[in-house]
Amino acid sequence: MYLRKCPNKKTGRVQLDIVQAYRDKDGKSKHKSVLHIGYLDLAEKQYPDPIAHFTEVARQMTAEYKEQTKPVHIEFYLKQAMEKSYDECKNFGYAALSKIYHELDIKSFLGNRQRSVKTDFNLNSIFRLLVFSRLLYPASKKHTYENRNRFFERSDFSLDDVYRSLGAFAKVKDGLILHLHNRLKAAYGRDTSMVYYDVTNYYFEIDEQDRLRRKGVSKEHRPDPIVQMGLFMDANGLPITYGLYPGNMLDKQTFIPMMDRIQDNFQLKRVIYVADKGMTCGDNIGQILMDKNGYVFSYSIRGANKEFKDFVLDQSGYKFNADHSFKLKSRIYPREITVTTVTGQKRRIAIDEKQVVFYSEKFAEKARRDRAAALQKAEELIKSPAKYNRATAYGAAKYVKGIVFDPKTGEVLTKAKKSLSLDLDLLREEEKYDGYYGLVTSELDELDQKVIDIYRGLWKIEESFKVTKSEFETRPVYLTREEHIEAHFLICFTALLIARILEYVMKSKYSVGTLLDSLKKANCFRLEQNYYVFNYYDQVLADIGQALGLDFSLKYRCLSDIKKILGEVKK
């Protein structure tokens, strides 16, 4: 490397750069600037002799570069055989995950709980393996254990230890989630002015039901027993807590238990709860208002009363937003809701709430496309009802008049097959409301656009469920004991939190799937004498490295350097 002095022909000013000379793959001489200094006259104001100063800097950089690129001589034998269990491929990408894992101080938490659990295996070592594997190589607990050497950390525990640890993890679940919340709040900040809630379910490929695994309304429209999971997320898209409920429990019934949990355990100030129409019932709204909190819920237009439907279709009062992508209007309207008293009786109370309605042509087009597919399926069902059952007819059956399913088998009953026809009245009624969307909120003074913006944040929690089901392969769940199931979801929740934090640190430049895919590919292979060669590097890894202070760019590293980096991310 040398100091290049380049005069500007127009101004006469001299530009200084430190330049590296090298040869490309074809042997041609090339030069690249490695340090841009600036103009000489400006440098003279800072240094007595900038030429001498930066010449010395170039010399030091050259010396450091030569030390770093000093050739290493490795001896190997072409006919050296491998043992049958030989596997020297290691992942290095998990260093980024490990940095966040240790910022959350999970090791200390589990270390403190280790004393009360009284086990002879290290809880943190097992939990760390299960979390990192769930993020990068999701598989069964047995397969995860068999592939534990994919990471550099020691794993001096048995497969039986892994299964025994699940009971310990289930016992500390609530404490760990609260610990994660407090650590995240300290390290990254928490915005709980708005709290998003949604419910999904995970299926089990089993025949017999039990207390938790029950048959219910499956999101995948499967007949298998399921477990319901409610998830709370903050305004930045970072998970707060979760809860598991029996599969036959309605989505709306999970809300109050989850709300009590988050209010009692996390000591939040006034929050605005945001959820879809599945949570919009009198008991939930009544409890929110009694707790002096707020809400923004979606509101079913097609399921509403005639007065609200007329308000939606009445075109007076609609105004277009700034970019004319949709039109909206609102009103403050007194509404009666039905709540359940402590004695179990039903009571009607009056509340004032703001109703916001908006229309988007894009929403209308999507509704028409979705219905077209369902109608085509409905017509096929009418022609060949024997090919369908309750599960496979989902989405189309509602457009078929006269259809009746066998409550046991789910098949279309023979007597009903002759009287099947398309429900044109339902079709025309639904078409009226294509593109319209309704919201209800307690925030009477909030701007209509702000209410819509608040609700739109709910997509992040829906995406989180997709991440757990696709990237993490959370289901189907093969565990049977309830405490093991609880531990499984605790591991998945922790993995989701770490992934979301990484996405947050990256300012959402990349999706969770993209980030994990690059980290998964950041592997290395052992050569002789404890040297490793790395086989993958991309822009995503470059950006992750810059954000977290890690370097994924080197092609070769010795084992001591790798262990040093993995040790530093734990500090």
> Which tens digits make up the pLDDT trace of 310-356?
999 999 999 998 888 899 999 999 989 999 988 889 999 999 999 99
**Structure confidence at residue 77 as a pLDDT band (50, 70, 90):** confident
Confidence of residue 476 (pLDDT cuts 50, 70, 90): low
Per-residue model confidence as pLDDT tens digits over 125-182: 999 999 999 999 998 899 999 999 999 998 889 999 999 999 999 999 999 999 999 9
User: Residue 242: which of 202, 276, 186, 296 has the closest Cα?
Assistant: 202
For residue 540, the model assigns a pLDDT of 96
Q: Which of 493, 540, 546 has the alpha carbon at shortest distance from 520?
A: 540
**Cβ atoms 236, 501 nearer than 8 A:** no
Residue 278 in tokens: 């599945």
Other C-beta atoms closer than 10 Å to the C-beta of 200 total 23
* End-to-end alpha carbon distance in the chain: 35
Q: Which residue has the higher pLDDT, 490 or 81?
A: 490
Please name the residues in contact with 511: beta carbons below 8 A apart, sequence gap of 6 or more. 503
Contacts of residue 453, defined as CB under 8 A and 6 or more positions apart, other chains included, come to: none
For tokens 């970019």, the residue is 323
Q: Which of 9-13, 438-442, 445-449, 520-524 has the lowest mean pLDDT?
A: 9-13
Give the pLDDT score at 20. 86
Q: What is the dihedral of CA 124, 126, 127, 128, to 10 degrees?
A: 80
Contact 206, 436 (CB under 8 A): no
What pLDDT does 389 receive?
A: 85
Return the DSSP state at 118. T
pLDDT (0 to 100) of residue 541: 96
d(Cα 111, Cα 128) in Å, to the nearest integer? 12
Which pLDDT belongs to residue 318?
Answer: 94
pLDDT at position 26 over 80 = no
pTM of the model: 0.81
Main-chain dihedrals φ then ψ at residue 330, nearest 5 degrees: -150, 170
Q: Say yes or no to pLDDT of 473 above 80.
A: no
CA distance 540 to 517: 9
Q: Span 373-382, mean pLDDT?
A: 90
Q: Tell me the pLDDT tens digit for each residue of 30-74.
A: 888 888 898 898 889 889 998 999 999 989 888 877 776 667 777
CA distances from 327 to 58, 316, 358, 434, 435 (A): 62, 11, 5, 14, 10
In this predicted model, which residue has the larger pLDDT, 476 or 187?
A: 187
Q: pLDDT tens digits for 295-318?
A: 999 999 988 999 999 999 999 999
> Rounded to the nearest 10 degrees, how much is the dihedral formed by the CA atoms of 212, 217, 223, 225?
-10
Interval 217-244: pLDDT, tens: 877 778 788 889 999 999 999 999 999 9
| pLDDT the model gives residue 415 | 66
pLDDT, one tens digit per residue, over 142-152 is 999 999 999 99
Mean pLDDT in residue range 366-380: 90
Whether omega before 476 lies within 30 degrees of 0, making that bond cis, reads yes
pLDDT at 405 over 90: no
Pairing of strands 194-203, 272-275: parallel
Q: Average pLDDT over the chain, rounded to whole? A: 89
Q: What is the pLDDT at residue 417?
A: 60
Average pLDDT rounded to a whole number, residues 176-205? 91
Predicted confidence at residue 65, as pLDDT, reads 76
Q: How many CB atoms lie within 10 A of CB 316?
A: 6
d(CA 352, CA 37): 65
85 to each of 88, 103, 147, how far by Cα in Å? 10, 35, 12
**% of the chain surpassing 70 pLDDT:** 98
Predicted confidence band of residue 416 (pLDDT cuts 50, 70, 90): low
More confident of the two residues 432 and 64: 432
Which residues lie below 8 Å from residue 73, measured CB to CB, with a gap of 6+? none
